[in-house]
Amino acid sequence: MPVMRAMVLERPGTALVMRERPVPLPGPGEILVEIAACGVCRTDLHVIDGELPDPRYPVVPGHEIVGNVAATGEGVGGFAPGARVGVPWLGATCGVCPYCRAGRENLCDNPLFTGYTRDGGYATHAIADANFCFPLPEHGDDAELAPLLCAGLIGWRSYRMAGEGSALGLYGFGAAAHILAQVAIWQGRRVHAFTRPGDEAAQAFARSLGAVWAGGSDEMPPEPLDAAIIFAPVGALVPLALKAVKKGGRVVCGGIHMSDIPGFPYALLWEERHLLSVANLTRADAREFLALAPQAGVKTQVRRYPLAAANDALADLREGRLQGAAVLVP
C-alpha cells in the first residue's frame, strides 16, 4: 500500500510530529492531491496553539496547498490527472444554510476548513473537495504560488472591504500585506506599511515593494489614511488604526483570530469611521483574485523549508524572522 508522510498536530500546544499513513483514496466528489508546496499561514499558529473554537485532533495543518491531481473520486469532472490545483482554507460548505443560499458561503453555518477541521497540506498528499479546489496555471513556481491561496485570497477579500480610497495602511507586513501591497501599488494607491516598532528589515522590505512610507505601528502615517487593513493578530492595533484613518475611513480586521481590543474613546470611531472584520473567503473571491494576481504582476517572496522542518518554519513565522511567506516543500 502506498504511504504518505504528514506533519501532524496531535494535541494543542505541541510540536508537529512526522507520521506515515496509507495514502487515502478520494471519496465521491473528492480529489487526491499530490502536494508540491504548502504555505505556512499565521492561522496555522492559532490552530496549533488551540486558539480557534471546536478544533479536531489529530490534524494536519496547512491551507495554502499547491499540488497535482493524483486521483479523482466518483462524479468529479473538470480535473484531469496531473493538473495543477490549489486548495484553500475554505474546504467545504453545506450549501443549504441561509448564508450559503445568500451567496455568503464564507459565513456558512456548517463548513469544513482545510488544515483545521479537515486534514491539510503539511504532507505529501491530501484529500480535498473538488468543488472547493481551483485550477492553477501551468507556469509559475509551486512554492511562489502557495501563499496566494490564503494570504492572497483572504487578503484580497480584506482589501476589497477597505474600499476605493487611495491612501491605504497595512498593519503587519507579512505574507498577506506583501501581496496586497503589490496589488494596491499596481492600482495606483499609496501604501503605508506598519510593522512591529523597530523592525527595520520589514520596513525596508515594504519600501522595496513600493510603499510610500513604512514605520512602526505606534507611529502616525505622514497623511491621514482612507483605510487600513490589520493583518497582525494584535487587538491593540485597532484603536491605533482608527486614529490613523480620516473621517469616513475604514479599518478592516483581516485575521481569523486577534487578541482582545483595548477600550478606546468613542471619538476614534465617530465621524462615520467603520470597523469591520473579514471571515474566510468565498470561491468567487478566489476566482477573482487568482485571475487578477498575474495581471498585477504579483511576485511572492518565499522561504522554502523541507516538510520535516515545519516546526522551524512555524517558529520563524512566530518570531518574525522572515520576510514574505514560509512555504513547505515535501
Cα–Cα nearest to 47, from 38, 33, 39, 58: 58
Residue number, 42 or 250, with CB nearest to Zn ion: 42
Among residues 133, 172, 125, the alpha carbon closest in space to that of 149 is found at: 133
150 binds Zn ion (CB under 5 A): yes
Q: Which three cell numbers stand for residue 311?
A: 516546526
CA–CA distance, 13 with 181 (Å, rounded to integer): 32
Kindly tell me which of 45 and 201 has the beta carbon lying closer to Zn ion: 45
Q: In whole angstroms, how close is the CB of 100 to Zn ion at the nearest point?
A: 3
Angle between helices 151-161 and 283-295 (to 10 degrees): 100
Longest distance between any two alpha carbons in the chain, whole Å: 64
308 closest CA partner among 325, 328, 288: 328
Beta carbon of residue 106, minimum distance to Zn ion (angstroms, whole number): 10
| Measured distance CA(139)–CA(126) in Å, rounded | 22
239 DSSP 8-state letter: H
| Closer CB to Zn ion, 156 or 213, in the complex | 156
Q: Provide the 3-class DSSP secondary structure of residue 191.
A: strand
Q: Smallest Cα–Cα separation from 234: which of 213, 252, 265, 255?
A: 255
In this structure, the strands spanning 274-277 and 245-253 are parallel
Closer to Zn ion by Cβ: residue 43 or 68: 43
Least distance to Zn ion, CB of residue 38, Å? 11
Q: What does the DSSP 8-state code read for residue 293?
A: H
Among 32, 43, 169, 179, binds Zn ion (CB under 5 A): 43
Is the previous residue joined to 58 through a cis bond, with omega within 30 degrees of 0? yes
Question: Rounded to the nearest whole angstrom, what is the least distance from the CB of residue 39 to Zn ion in the complex?
Answer: 8
Q: Is 52 in the site for Zn ion (CB under 5 A)?
A: no
**Least distance to Zn ion, CB of residue 97, Å:** 3
Distance separating alpha carbons of residues 194 and 171, to the nearest angstrom = 5
End-to-end CA distance of the chain: 20
Residue 99: CB minimum distance to Zn ion, A: 5
Per-residue binding string, Zn ion, 72-101, x by CB under 5 A, is ---------------------xx--x--x-
Least CB distance from residue 149 to Zn ion, whole Å?
8
The site for Zn ion, by CB under 5 A, has a size of 8
Is residue 241 at the binding interface for Zn ion, with CB under 5 A as the rule? no
Work out how close the CB of 218 gets to Zn ion at its nearest, in angstroms, rounded to a whole number: 26
Position 108 contacts Zn ion (CB under 5 A): yes
User: In this chain, which of 31, 33, 41, 206 binds Zn ion, going by CB under 5 A?
Assistant: 41
Q: Mask: binding to Zn ion, 164-203, rule CB under 5 A, as x and -?
A: ----------------------------------------
CB closer to Zn ion, 242 vs 307: 307
Interface contacts to Zn ion, rule CB under 5 A: 41, 43, 93-94, 97, 100, 108, 150
